[in-house]
Structure 1
Amino acid sequence: MHAEQLRDKIRVLRNGKEKQNQIICKTKYIYVHVLILHVTLLGYEGLKCYCNIDSPSSCPNSTCETDGYCYASTNIEKGVQKYTYHCLDFKSLIPFEHPFSCSTTKNKNASVVIECCDTHMCNRELRLELQTKPPETSPPPSAWQVVPWIVGMMMVGVCVAISVWWKRSRNKHKRGSRPLFPVEESLCETRHQMMGTATIRDMIELTTSGSGSGLPLLVQRSIARQIQLVDIIGKGRFGEVWRGRWHGENVAVKIFSSREECSWFREAEIYQTVMLRHENILGFIAADNKDNGTWTQLWLITNYHENGSLFDFLTAHTIDSTTLIKMALSIATGLAHLHMDIVGTKGSVLAGKPAIAHRDLKSKNILVKTNLTCVIGDLGLAVRHNVASDSVDVPSTNRVGTKRYMAPEVLDETMDTRQFDPYKRSDVYSFGLVLWEMARRCGIPDDYQPPYYDCVPPDPALEDMRRVVCVEKRRPNVPNRWHSDPVLSAISKVMKECWYQNPAARLTALRIKKTLANIGSPDYIKQ
């Protein structure tokens, strides 16, 4: 049953196709007979047309006869328009429905215009005009020529957009909004050509041009992506510190928790201050934000010092008077460099280094190098002095310094935070306590103890420190044996001048540096 129905449908379709073909054939048949009838009605003389061909035999009296159409055309010959009139015979009408000989190209810049007509002398009045050709121009570029140009313009646009975004994000950060570390400028920087073979020190010397402002952002990111974490070497409220390996070199990787993003951004920003790089400031290498699939890690990569912090070193080692002076002088030198503002040359791109105050100076934030000199690290709470407006650039973070090392004016909140000098004086107070920690481990050493260990609990509250330092005005105890040692006696005098209750009476970092250098001289020791 189904087979028969299918055959019926096929027959219907075939019949429809055959009828369609028959209609087309009949139409052509009628068209041909109409043309023949048309020729017949014109009589044996045929169709007379105007003719301007230079041939008397084919064009007598500028007239020709045809059984087809009268023909007119206009073309350009040697830069001049030429008008041609003639007859078009029936045998030339191919195809007869729409002869090619009577067709004008559809190109807007056609060089020939043709028209046919079918009444006596009808072509005589035809005056066909060519469209004026526009001036010659280079051919339109192909898709393969256009694509690179479009891609190049897009990349320029992306770089400009990223630069604008980064500038706005920095401005927002300065106003206290949530900061983000830049990734856009790194898209526009070229990867350093010596990345594969150079050491970090080589790259820093080659790429900073003496500015001391750190590596280019793309180089920083490239280094961060290639670091392999080895083992954890410390923990703090900010996160963790790891020892990492980069091309055979040890580096320290400080990994901040996500809630400490402001501290991470601030520290990276301070480390990249122009002209900050110094032998007694922890060497900054790179900063990057890395997505481990679960959360974003905030990395800060610095030089690695196997001796660890001064706190760790003093806990495990005793020192002699020469090492005490060397360590103290290196810390004072680093602090003096931080506190100093370096004015750039007038009109120079480098405006110079602003004065910086640390705000959290303590033995755990000072690292010991292999030659037993020290470097100052952890600049997450640092503030900068803006000379132009005489204002203080304070980080937008809720963190405060370590309570045990806070100066009296910070503890009782009497410090003028609008001025920059009070911040430097509070650093000097903290340095005096660090001196005391080192002096305890020199000569006939005492066990290591932090400042005020005998006055407050191991983790003192703000009220505990305020009571001891501001109300009772106590300071760490200076043992009598120090007075019999010329070096320890001189050091104790310096530390006392660092922790005066009145901030204005304290020594400056530069003065401390010069005094310690004098104490360490051979002539002084001989005395």
Structure 2
Amino acid sequence: MQLTSGVLGCLCVCVCWLLEVRGRRCVFEVSNPRNLAWKERGNVSGSEQLCANTHCCVAYLSLQGGQHVQDYLGCSVMDLPCPLPTCSITRQDEYLVRCVCSSDLCNAIDNITWSPEQETANPLRPGSLVGTEGGGLVAVSILLGCLVFVVTLFTAVKCRHFKDTLLSSQHGHKPTSPSLDLTNMVERPDLDLTNMELHEVIGKGHFATVWRGFQKGAMVAVKVYLAGNEHSFTTEREVYKLPLLVHAGIADFLGAGRLEGGEMVLVLELAAYSSLHLFLTKSSCDWPSSLRLARSLADGLAFLHSEFSRHGLYKPTVAHRDLSSSNVLVRSDGTCALSDFSCSSILYNSQRGPGTREGGPGTRQGGLWTGQGNSGTITQGSLVGTLIYMSPEVLEGSVNLRSSKWMIQGDVYALGLLLWEIWTRCSTLYTGSAVPEHALPYETELGVCPSLELLCLHVAERRQRPAIPKHWEQAFQVFSLEDIVTDCWDHDADARLTSQCALDRLLTLQA
């Protein structure tokens, strides 16, 4: 036992030393060398980059001439969740795709794999050490983390310095007790926000204020949670920390921490055009641009709703539960990314995880709904969401709380409203006439801030929806725009499309 402890103690020393002196090596190639942001990510030597602040390599690919070509290969700007040693892309789309990985030179084009998501009849339970191809490497990594953790318990004095280094280093994952679920969440230490610069407020919500910030040479979005919203902060952080939650349709999560004043903070990618709401307010789009927004939006939601296992890791279904144009970002390439998961629910399969986790804070006042306009959150028990985007069954409180299906169906209802928002600002659909100003769902019929009672009457009882222009009835290939939108916001929740089916229909439309 003493010999084993000694050997493992040396292993602890070696691992900690490596994490201190050796950064991640990534393949480097940039399509626009005039964009100097890559210099802050690490030193470049030929076709390799030695990461300065992160342990993740990243590859961004775009479609050119029918082929996916590299847009940027190199180090990620800050630490991203990258539990897999290989760069695997789950969806092959016509717009920008991305993958991240956690081994040296793993982002080389020849190393990138295309792995369609697959649901198995008997998928792996989180924490399983036996998985698909590559699971052995993940298992070794997990076992190594466990061994290091055990050693630190028995050699606390000798390895105290190295243990602290391992826990605080941003080049590795925090060791986890073998009795805990090792793959349920991507465990990483909080970010050091000592030198975080907050420049200007770019958004305000019910739970937090979003700032434009500067951290480690990069412009980022800093979501500062207001006092008393610890539950919302924890919920959103848990969603972002899920393994395999890496997709072009999901906002990049760079880490969490606390400012010097104690405020809870999430650090996210900074989207070039801010929210979809702000983008549509300022700009109209032609048909190809509108279709790109719609497809990437549906793609992100379909991924969020998907459930799969890969390399011994398990991604459960996630219901967004507050999908609105204010909670969708628009990147510089004109694609959407879902954000703001403070009201979300992680829907674990009963055979795979700890059960459904209900997200979102709420209070109940005499069993009645409470609300704060179209930007507020209303609650009854665990029901949450933005009023004007809530499905009729949620508005009238007629959902089956024994099943989580209604949460997914509510997201699809909101997707229908968002598609309506996007296409009402499509200039191609208004040839010969002015494009109408951006309007929120039901704004024309009910005003800017309709009450809950008015929405219940209009949406649930009278079964009314936002007005669809007559020219939408013209067919685009197999499905018309009207078909897609109305099948998403159908009054019968069971008759609505799935998010994947909505995406499939959108893919049939010609750009």
Task: Specify every segment of 5 or more residues in structure 1 that has no aligned partner in the other structure, as ranges.
Answer: 1-148, 157-186, 522-527
The amino acid of 1:239's aligned partner reads: A
What residue is the counterpart of 2:495 in the other structure?
A: 505
1:435 and 2:419 aligned: yes
Q: Aligned partners of 1:256 and 1:288: how far apart in 2?
A: 11
C-alpha deviation, 1:191, in angstroms:
6.4
Deviates more, 1:205-214 or 1:373-382: 205-214
1:467 and 2:446 aligned: no
Contact 1:213 / 1:272 at 8 angstroms: preserved in 2? no
What residue is the counterpart of 1:112 in the other structure?
A: none
C-alpha deviation, 1:339, in angstroms:
0.4
Q: TM-score, normalised by structure 1?
A: 0.58
What residue is the counterpart of 2:318 in the other structure?
A: 356
Q: Aligned partners of 1:382 and 1:492: how far apart in 2?
A: 28
Contact 2:83 / 2:244 at 8 angstroms: preserved in 1? no
The amino acid of 1:286's aligned partner reads: G
Task: Specify every segment of 5 or more residues in structure 2 that has no aligned partner in the other structure, as ranges.
Answer: 1-5, 25-40, 43-50, 59-74, 87-99, 103-169, 175-186, 363-376, 378-383
Cα 1:362–1:205 change in 2 (3 A) is closer
1:336 and 2:305 aligned: no
Q: Aligned partners of 2:332 and 2:490: how far apart in 1?
A: 33
Alignment of 1:38-187 (within 5 A): none
What residue is the counterpart of 1:423 in the other structure?
A: 407
Q: Aligned partners of 1:242 and 1:194: how far apart in 2?
A: 30
Structure 2 counterpart SS, 1:253: strand
Contact 1:482 / 1:489 at 8 angstroms: preserved in 2? no
Which of residues 77, 83, 95 in structure 2 aligns to 1:208? Answer: 83
Structure 2 counterpart SS, 1:281: coil
1:299 and 2:265 aligned: yes
The amino acid of 2:267's aligned partner reads: I
Structure 2 counterpart SS, 1:318: coil
Q: Aligned partners of 1:463 and 1:476: how far apart in 2?
A: 17
Give the number of aligned pairs: 331
Contact 1:365 / 1:377 at 8 angstroms: preserved in 2? yes
Which of residues 386, 389, 394 in structure 1 aligns to 2:348? Answer: 386
What residue is the counterpart of 2:31 in the other structure?
A: none
C-alpha deviation, 1:264, in angstroms:
0.7
What is the CA deviation profile of residues 337-369 of structure 1, one whole-angstrom value per residue up to 9, with x for unaligned ones? 000001346xx3x2x100111001111101001
C-alpha deviation, 1:510, in angstroms:
0.7
Q: Aligned partners of 1:283 and 1:369: how far apart in 2?
A: 11
What residue is the counterpart of 1:96 in the other structure?
A: none
What residue is the counterpart of 1:229 in the other structure?
A: 198
Structure 2 counterpart SS, 1:356: strand
> Percent of aligned positions with the same letter in both sequences?
28
Cα 1:291–1:506 change in 2 (3 A) is same
1:285 and 2:160 aligned: no
Q: Aligned partners of 1:393 and 1:510: how far apart in 2?
A: 23
C-alpha deviation, 1:417, in angstroms:
2.4
Cα 1:482–1:396 change in 2 (3 A) is closer
1:255 and 2:224 aligned: yes
1:403 and 2:387 aligned: yes
Q: Aligned partners of 2:411 and 2:218: how far apart in 1?
A: 33
What is the CA deviation profile of residues 273-296 of structure 1, one whole-angstrom value per residue up to 9, with x for unaligned ones? 01111111000001112342xxx2
Q: Aligned partners of 1:273 and 1:428: how far apart in 2?
A: 22
Q: Aligned partners of 1:361 and 1:478: how far apart in 2?
A: 21
Tell me the C-alpha RMSD between the 2 structures.
3.1
Structure 2 counterpart SS, 1:343: strand
What is the CA deviation profile of residues 447-472 of structure 1, one whole-angstrom value per residue up to 9, with x for unaligned ones? 11000012323222221211111111
Contact 1:239 / 1:254 at 8 angstroms: preserved in 2? yes
Cα 1:413–1:338 change in 2 (3 A) is same
Cα 1:357–1:205 change in 2 (3 A) is closer
Higher share of residues assigned helix: 1
Q: Aligned partners of 2:274 and 2:406: how far apart in 1?
A: 30
What residue is the counterpart of 1:63 in the other structure?
A: none
C-alpha deviation, 1:371, in angstroms:
0.6
Which of residues 304, 307, 316 in structure 1 aligns to 2:282? Answer: 316
Alignment of 1:239-278 (within 5 A): 239-278=208-247
Deviates more, 1:381-390 or 1:438-447: 381-390
Q: Aligned partners of 1:474 and 1:260: how far apart in 2?
A: 35
C-alpha deviation, 1:210, in angstroms:
5.1
Cα 1:371–1:466 change in 2 (3 A) is same
Q: Aligned partners of 1:486 and 1:193: how far apart in 2?
A: 54
Structure 2 counterpart SS, 1:510: helix
Cα 1:451–1:206 change in 2 (3 A) is closer
What is the CA deviation profile of residues 400-443 of structure 1, one whole-angstrom value per residue up to 9, with x for unaligned ones? 21000000110111111221222111100000000000111012
What is the CA deviation profile of residues 277-319 of structure 1, one whole-angstrom value per residue up to 9, with x for unaligned ones? 1111000001112342xxx201000000121100000000000
The amino acid of 1:290's aligned partner reads: L
What residue is the counterpart of 1:375 in the other structure?
A: 337
Contact 1:468 / 1:474 at 8 angstroms: preserved in 2? yes
What is the CA deviation profile of residues 1-33 of structure 1, one whole-angstrom value per residue up to 9, with x for unaligned ones? xxxxxxxxxxxxxxxxxxxxxxxxxxxxxxxxx
Structure 2 counterpart SS, 1:393: coil
Structure 2 counterpart SS, 1:515: helix
Cα 1:205–1:392 change in 2 (3 A) is closer
The amino acid of 1:263's aligned partner reads: S
Q: Aligned partners of 2:440 and 2:351: how far apart in 1?
A: 39
The amino acid of 1:256's aligned partner reads: Y
C-alpha deviation, 1:492, in angstroms:
2.1
The amino acid of 1:318's aligned partner reads: S
Which of residues 431, 443, 456 in structure 2 aligns to 1:453? Answer: 443
Report 1 or 2 for greater relative contact order, CA contacts < 8 Å, sequence distance ≥ 6.
Answer: 2
- Which has more radius of gyration? 1
Contact 2:194 / 2:260 at 8 angstroms: preserved in 1? no
Q: Aligned partners of 1:277 and 1:510: how far apart in 2?
A: 17
Q: Aligned partners of 1:447 and 1:321: how far apart in 2?
A: 17
Cα 1:191–1:282 change in 2 (3 A) is farther
